[in-house]
């Protein structure tokens, strides 16, 4: 049928798709947890509105205003007068009625935003993007500083990843409302690794910054989706907790005044927001993408930098958004970086005739096995003999537990899915359950173009349960437009593995954005007194002009770390501190200078006669990489 694109709000998979979350049970239809405002084409959280009251409106008046509209406060959102509100009636009616009250400055839907990335494509083992932007030359000036705090407002960070943990500082989880912003998706961890995977530690990859303070601010869930209320609150948190740079590799089409106000607020005036242009292959000048487009007219926020993606040949990536509202481009195709590590608890290839599975059909055709497969010989299909019927409701669910999730966190189902359904009418659902009766999960709609696509469903809601039951379901509406349905193969149940490292190669403007964020952090490390305006100026005036980007981005150029940092044309290798313990001063000095360092302060300490006149301590520690001509302090032994 091929009637549209696969719809998914999965942050790590931008097949230009929108995932619609769904909760239900085996005997009931349940209710969708995202809706679409009529005529907007943009999903929002049902029953929720973001409201800002005018200055000097007292708390009692606020409550009376909300009560008059059958609304109540859920939580404040960081700015004076800004609140997330629950409404009883329709969101459309509430956002029309509330601003009619003089106490209300504005009201808007709680829009859904998505992480900007493409499906996984692990084919490269080298960090080609760092070489392309001239990072090695910039490292002659600085390799970063722990004094520069960068907020990764995303799906969280794998805080115990061995290649990241040394650079991670405390943050917050706005999805679960706690101080444990671990990543149940992978997108935020990948972004964090490009910015600041620890350098010179003999582990995995290196970020643009070898040293930096990465603050995880989790606003997107395990499927890579989140609301503008959480994003705005996450931005406000980052600014109020000392982040000088925010990386926002996320976006959507809904204009949020709350998000705009947060970025423009006094508390965020000293924070640079580096954001993704989006992966729809569209001109953002004609079809705005937020938060990217807040930096363009009519908002013109000066602390926003918007980033497009380029490939290894400096060509604009075919998925990347563009336009004069986009500032510059950076590498974003096949980017290797850090990733959370998972244990696979159980898997199912449907090779046996549905052993331990049960079919249930309320209407339509039953699930069966099909030889249309991704791996092995068979897959599970809602209509293996052809197209599904109108008004279908058919299930395939596990009749025995797949595995215990006791003591586990960040659990997910991974699988390969080939899909052909009527877009936004008919849905293929992937569920989880702790009891085999009450199921919840995600739904997919549209077409994968005749191919199997690797997808993920977040089932972290069942973390810690003693049992886990997966289920598949197809539903269709009453019209006569049907398709070939869904074929699901290679189902696996995975949970996070603590303290372990993994890496992945993916693409998207999400991957371009942290290259720019990392360079901004390098600039700040090299020039600690720089203002937001100076940081932005250094990055945008330091691009490499690229012919293929002329007219595609405002600067016509691709990121250049060396130019932005101001390392100049006469570069010296970085100082690598040698081990001179036990050496006499003359030998130690020559060795230090041979490593492009200089001898700094000399200290004399009492020691044994054996150590007289010899180095008994040095600082920084041997093996440390510093800027060229950096000083090494020595402590020399004195006999007694």
- Chain segment 161-220, per-residue pLDDT in tens: 999 999 999 999 999 999 999 999 999 999 999 999 998 887 889 999 999 999 999 999
The two structure tokens encoding residue 128: 């080609």
On average, the pLDDT of the chain sits at 88
- Amino acid 225: pLDDT: 87
Write out the E strands in 469-587.
469-475, 485-496, 502-506, 544-545, 557-558, 575-576
Question: CA neighbours within 13 Å on the CB side: how many for 284?
Answer: 34
Q: Which residues 6+ apart lie within 8 Å of 309 measured at CB?
A: 277, 279, 316, 317, 319, 320, 329, 330, 331, 332, 333, 507, 508, 509, 511, 512
- Amino acid 574: pLDDT: 67
- Rounded Cα gap, residues 427 and 181, in angstroms: 31
Cβ–Cβ under 8 Å, residues 196 and 212: yes
Per-residue pLDDT for 30 more than 50?
no
- Rounded Cα gap, residues 225 and 443, in angstroms: 14
- Amino acid 123: pLDDT: 36
pLDDT tens digits, one per residue of 123-152: 334 789 998 999 888 888 888 999 999 999
- Rounded Cα gap, residues 448 and 7, in angstroms: 9
Per-residue pLDDT for 8 more than 90?
no
Asked if residue 163 has a cis previous peptide bond (ω within 30° of 0), the answer is no
- Amino acid 28: pLDDT: 26
Closest-CA residue to 240 (of 262, 207, 257): 262
Per-residue pLDDT for 29 more than 60?
no
Tell me the pTM. 0.78
Closest-CA residue to 255 (of 111, 80, 124, 53): 111
> Among the CATH numbers 2.60.120.200, 3.30.360.10, 3.40.1390.10, 1.10.3430.10, which is that of 20-28+342-496?
2.60.120.200
Higher pLDDT, 175 or 6: 175
The two structure tokens encoding residue 54: 């005018």
Confidence of residue 590 (pLDDT cuts 50, 70, 90): confident
- Amino acid 609: pLDDT: 52
The ranges assigned to domains in the chain are 20-28+342-496, 34-115, 128-340+503-565, 575-638
The two structure tokens encoding residue 583: 């050496």
Confidence of residue 84 (pLDDT cuts 50, 70, 90): very high
How many Cβ atoms are within 10 Å of 601's Cβ, its own excluded? 10
CATH no., domain 128-340+503-565: 3.40.50.200
B/e letters for 270-291, b = 16+ CB within 10 Å, e = fewer, are ebbbbbbbbbbebbbeeebbbb
CATH no., domain 34-115: 3.30.70.80
The alpha carbon of residue 29 and the mean position of all alpha carbons in its chain are separated, in whole angstroms, by 31
- Amino acid 122: pLDDT: 35
Partners of residue 83 on adjacent β-strands: 51, 76
pLDDT tens digits, one per residue of 525-551: 999 999 999 999 999 999 999 999 999
Partners of residue 419 on adjacent β-strands: 486
Q: Looking at the domain 575-638, which fold is it?
A: Trypsin Inhibitor V; Chain A (3.30.10)
């Amino acid at each position: 049928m091929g009637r549209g694109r696969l719809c998914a709000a999965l942050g790590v998979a931008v097949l230009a798709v929108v995932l619609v979350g769904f909760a239900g049970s085996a005997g009931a239809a349940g209710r969708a947890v995202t809706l679409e405002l009529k005529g907007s084409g943009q999903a929002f959280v049902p029953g929720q509105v973001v409201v800002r009251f005018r200055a000097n409106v007292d708390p009692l008046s606020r409550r009376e205003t909300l009560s008059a509209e059958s609304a109540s406060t859920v939580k404040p959102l960081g700015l004076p007068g800004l609140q997330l509100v629950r409404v009883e009636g329709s969101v459309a009616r509430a956002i029309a009625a509330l601003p009619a009250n003089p106490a209300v400055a504005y009201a808007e839907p709680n829009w859904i935003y998505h992480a900007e990335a493409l499906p996984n494509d692990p084919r490269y083992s080298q960090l080609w993007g760092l070489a392309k932007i001239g990072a090695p030359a910039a490292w002659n000036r600085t390799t970063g500083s722990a004094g520069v705090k960068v907020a990764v407002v995303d799906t969280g960070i794998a805080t115990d990843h061995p290649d990241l943990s040394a650079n991670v500082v405390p943050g917050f989880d706005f999805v679960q409302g706690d101080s444990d912003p671990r990543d149940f998706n992978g997108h935020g961890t990948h972004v964090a690794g490009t910015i600041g995977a620890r350098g010179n530690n003999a582990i995995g990859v290196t970020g643009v910054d070898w040293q930096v303070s990465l603050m995880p601010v989790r606003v997107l869930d395990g499927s890579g989706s989140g609301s503008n209320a959480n994003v705005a609150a996450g931005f406000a948190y980052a600014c109020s907790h000392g982040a000088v740079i925010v990386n926002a590799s996320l976006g959507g089409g809904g204009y949020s005044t709350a998000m705009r106000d947060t970025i423009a607020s006094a508390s965020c005036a000293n924070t640079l927001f580096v954001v993704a242009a989006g992966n729809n292959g569209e001109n953002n000048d004609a079809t705005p993408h937020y938060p990217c487009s807040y930096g363009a007219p009519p908002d013109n926020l000066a602390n926003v930098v918007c980033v497009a993606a380029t490939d290894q040949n400096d060509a604009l990536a075919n998925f990347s958004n563009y336009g004069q509202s986009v500032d510059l481009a950076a590498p974003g195709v096949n980017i290797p970086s850090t990733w959370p590590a998972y244990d696979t608890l159980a898997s199912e290839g449907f090779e046996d005739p549905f052993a331990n599975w049960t079919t249930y059909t309320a209407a339509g055709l039953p699930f069966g096995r099909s030889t249309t497969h991704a791996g092995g010989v068979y897959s599970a299909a809602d209509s293996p003999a052809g197209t599904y019927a109108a008004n279908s409701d058919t299930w395939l669910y596990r009749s025995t537990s797949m595995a215990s999730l006791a003591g586990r966190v960040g659990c997910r189902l991974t699988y390969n899915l080939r899909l052909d359904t009527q877009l936004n009418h008919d849905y293929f659902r992937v569920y989880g359950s702790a009891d085999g009766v009450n199921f919840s999960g995600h739904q997919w709609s549209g077409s994968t173009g005749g191919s199997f696509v690797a997808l993920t469903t977040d089932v972290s809601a069942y973390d810690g349960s003693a049992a886990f039951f997966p289920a598949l379901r197809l539903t269709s509406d009453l019209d006569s437009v049907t398709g070939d349905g869904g074929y699901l193969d290679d189902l696996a149940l995975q949970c996070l593995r603590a303290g372990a490292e993994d890496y992945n190669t993916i693409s998207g403007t999400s991957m371009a954005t942290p290259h720019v964020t990392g360079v901004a952090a390098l600039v700040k490390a090299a020039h600690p007194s720089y203002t937001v305006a100076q940081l932005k100026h250094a990055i945008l005036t330091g691009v490499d002009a690229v012919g293929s980007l002329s007219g595609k981005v405002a600067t016509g150029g691709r990121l250049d770390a060396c130019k932005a940092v101001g390392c100049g044309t006469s570069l010296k290798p970085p100082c690598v501190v040698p081990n001179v313990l036990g050496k006499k001063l003359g030998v130690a000095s020559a060795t230090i200078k041979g490593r492009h360092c200089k001898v700094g302060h000399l200290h004399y300490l009492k020691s044994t006669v054996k150590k007289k006149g010899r180095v008994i301590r040095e600082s920084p520690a041997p093996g440390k990489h510093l800027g060229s001509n950096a000083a090494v302090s020595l402590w020399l032994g004195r006999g007694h």
